[in-house]
Chains A and B, each alone.
Chain A
């Protein structure tokens, strides 16, 4: 919001003025009102490991983050380029594997990824697209540039908060919306429904679409329910579905109803006990068989997670070059892969300055933030890396940009990141803005809601 000199950036002046006119008491009152309506509306997420049914709101900061239109066009172009290349990569990996044969990515890196699904080799999803819904995490460094921090291609969460945050903001600062050109986000669900409809087998005239959720105890249940509601489709759980003759049906009060397209929010591991984890109670036995037969479309396709692996992430710029003959518009954060001897040595030597992440975790679990960790934690991670080098990547600690946040009755800077959402159906749609996540603890770099992070509305003006 502020330029290095301390004055508000040009595009933030109106907002700055508006906030200046509010007393600190006003600010606090509006913040409380916004949070109260979140509780009243039940905009919550579930916290694992706490008492069953514990729900919390994601703390919401009512100061929006503003991104200039021109900068957004550039980001949006970069995201489209990236998702095209990633989809070509997934399709290649499960079919011809040209990129491996040409030696652009070492074969062992792909085959050793825990998200690589040999069961998906030879699959051909509708229109050749595997990943229909992506949430890509971006960060801004002190140089003002946006970098891709990671790609979330399996079941990316958070878009419901973007849409709800915007609603709350309209209640909180109605005047500002009249004055500013804030790009709307409200058509996300229409875009999503169009994309899902486009996946249905051609002969189906009015496809039956459903959102598949693990159920109300899942941390993202609110989102599953919200998306189904906004699209006007059924929210189903595994126990609602049954496969007969390679076709998926829902159990209804009047018997079985065929389902054509499923936006699944259950991970590969749990979606079909016949194919993946045998002990899973959440999934639908036989659904992958129905998918193979082309009788049901799954978004995102099983196997998509291969491009989600944090080691694979390091190779995305190479993929873009390989498949599109273009340079990546959005750069990666510099990344060291620990399976490589030289890079691993560098990481171990500099561990105190590195952020170390396991290749296959999300939600900020299992990370080391070097500069904030003790000597014992450094040593522990060195051991972990040595024991399983394939599983770790490391990145230098960035000077993540900060945004002002209301703390009690005044403003303080907190680190933020940005998760834009991309839908790949017939066309590619990039939601203008995305979820700005805020590390609420002073100095913290961790923005995940499961780790106490909050959120802000993001305005593209």
Chain B
């Protein structure tokens, strides 16, 4: 008898859990929506423009490299969009609109595609993009924080201000306390997000909300983010304002969205805890004793370089014992 037409042959398993790379990328992107909408509410619609710019740059970078290498386009996996969105989360809202596009493009091309594309990069592409912009446009990157003006969607006369961490670094603790009023009311504002800061980081609560969605969907696990927070907290005890360090800057955004990037973070919980503590501690050290007001970006990038070694040192433990005398 003839072969029955149309029957598909494939190796097992023949069923799948359903969580795909693309779904993960889009869930992470979507989980950022509350934080980014909040930033839009505070700083105006230019936030959306910057986000679009970052995505376009990242997208173009990936498309171009695939094109030049004559490879199948990989844009459908959603990772380029996520890189663009994440990059913008680390940027100040007053930047020129074209700048995230440059960053996104360079991050994707140099940190991701030249390493072989998704899964093969060593450094977090969004953070490489930020570091690149920092090196090229230091003035714009550090002086374009906007004072929050809730509900003012469109302002030609946006007022720049200093970020809380910049105030601390430049003015010292005593003066910062005077200027910002480091009391419970101020910490409450930091938590909720009424403050100047990068687009993704301003509201700790909303970053945590997005992360909670990802934790619930088992896209994230808590090992890395919690140990980052603990690491920074421990080092910050050496400063006079540990709580201030825990609630400002990109700590939460970095801990939950940057340090947790699958590709550039270690595989196993024990390695992830060391990785997280290392990032957290380094962040605190840079902030308190280093030259920059904020340190999470470089802390993560440096620890990205340690990831392959951590994966070598920490391997899964076999269940089956080795045979003895049988």
Q: Do A and B bind each other?
A: no
- Enumerate chain B interface residues (CB-CB to A < 8 A): none
- Enumerate chain A interface residues (CB-CB to B < 8 A): none
